[in-house]
Amino acid sequence: MTTACGTPATYDLVALRAIYDLPLPELIFRAQQAQRAHHDPAAVQLCTLQSIKTGRCPENCAYCPQSAHHDTGLEAEQLMDSADIIASARRAQQGGAARFCMGAAWREVRDGPQFDSVLDAVRGVSALGLEVCCTLGMLNAAQATRLKTAGCTVYNHNLDTSREYYPEIISTRTYDERLETLGRVRAAGLQVCSGGILGMGESVNDRLKMLGELAALDPHPDSVPINALVPVAGTPLAERTPVDPIEFVRVIATARILMPRAMVRLSAGRTEMSDELQALCYLAGANSIFLGEKLLTTPNPERSDDMKLLARLGLHPLVGSPMERAVPGAIAGHGENVCTVAGVSA
């Protein structure tokens, strides 16, 4: 695979740092150029999350309140009935959500009545006309295809951090297993949603290497959630120093420049962000958020506060799917913006 500039679509650290370390006004300008080439800069995609199976997860992700390895006091819940999931999706739609994402605290999907019930929920939510996203852990090829056939459009599966830092955070699965699931998701015709978490003690270089891994996927992920760690008491990361806000903005801008067509989602951690920081994130190219007072298990800003902020900034909810709203005639090839917008040959 080559970019429009004829160079491979892989990014070494020097190239990534050349973008990330730009003077902030220059970085934001280039991120804005990338965003305007592919998106309505005033439109924000509103997504809703529903935890359909909560807690007691066998994985040991150090950040996660749902891991059975940490004592976080979280009340575990069995898989929700499909009718209840569909009712929750209907409420989300009435509240303005365009995408409904169902999350399960599973290491991997297992065939059987539980997966069949999730497929029923996917069919029901998709019949409402919502874009359906699932995040259920690792998948095999047949399971990915069944999800797609049921009406799921997007699968979320995060790389979370760099390959080097990954073992510090999770030891019950490997980085390559993560990439293999992403490959199966793509092969089944599902859109890929993959991003990570900042503030887990990783270095700036780890964050950039993670973005480099995501941007090396061909094609790029369709959406890239950037989470700020929500420190949860009882997890090994409860006391981590919060990510520096300007560093957070730089990561958003770099993601936007590297993956210009992706939806860049300002995900977990917004309750600790000021309105001004969120505004900077929108300027840096973020164009999607989760709406609703709860993420999976942790708090999210009040819906009314988010709507107020969007109104103050003159932003409006994205209507229709991202593909429908792409700016006509502005579609560039994979990686082209890295050459033409960032001015950096990667």
Residues labelled catalytic: 57, 61, 64, 101, 133, 193, 265
- Rounded Cα distance between 67 and 51, Å, is 14
Q: Which one among 32, 45, 51, 66 touches ligand SF4, defined by CB under 6 A? A: 66
Sites for ligand DTB among residues 317-346 (CB under 6 A): none
Residues 33-72: x/- map of binding to ligand DTB (CB under 6 A)? ----------------x---------------x-------
- Rounded Cα distance between 259 and 215, Å, is 6
Q: Which is nearer to ligand SF4, 59 or 131 (CB)?
A: 59
Note whether 269 binds ligand SF4 by CB under 6 A: no
- Under 8 Å between Cβ of 67 and 61: yes
- Rounded Cα distance between 254 and 289, Å, is 18
Note whether 152 binds ligand SAM by CB under 6 A: no
Q: Which is nearer to ligand SF4, 57 or 259 (CB)?
A: 57
If contact means CB under 5 to 8 A according to the sort of partner, which of ligand DTB, ligand SAM, ligand SF4, none does residue 157 touch? ligand SAM
Question: Exposed, middle or buried, 241 (CB in 10 Å: 0-12/13-18/19+)?
Answer: exposed
Question: Exposed, middle or buried, 301 (CB in 10 Å: 0-12/13-18/19+)?
Answer: buried
Size of the site for ligand DTB (CB under 6 A): 17
- Rounded Cα distance between 51 and 68, Å, is 16
Q: Which stretch binds ligand SF4 (CB under 6 A): 55-63, 72-80, 277-285, 337-345?
A: 55-63
Read off the DSSP letter of residue 216.
T
Note whether 154 binds ligand DTB by CB under 6 A: no
- Report the DSSP beta bridge partners of residue 255: none
- Rounded Cα distance between 220 and 193, Å, is 10
Question: To the nearest whole angstrom, how small is the minimum distance from the Cβ of residue 85 to ligand DTB?
Answer: 15
- Under 8 Å between Cβ of 210 and 160: yes
- Rounded Cα distance between 34 and 327, Å, is 12
If contact means CB under 5 to 8 A according to the sort of partner, which of ligand SAM, ligand SF4, ligand DTB, none does residue 67 touch? ligand SF4
Note whether 230 binds ligand SAM by CB under 6 A: yes
**To 5 degrees, how large is the angle CA 105–CA 320–CA 307?**
70
Q: Which stretch binds ligand SF4 (CB under 6 A): 63-71, 80-88, 284-292, 320-328?
A: 63-71
* Footprint on this chain of ligand SF4 (rule: CB under 6 A): 57, 59, 61, 64, 66-67, 105, 107, 137
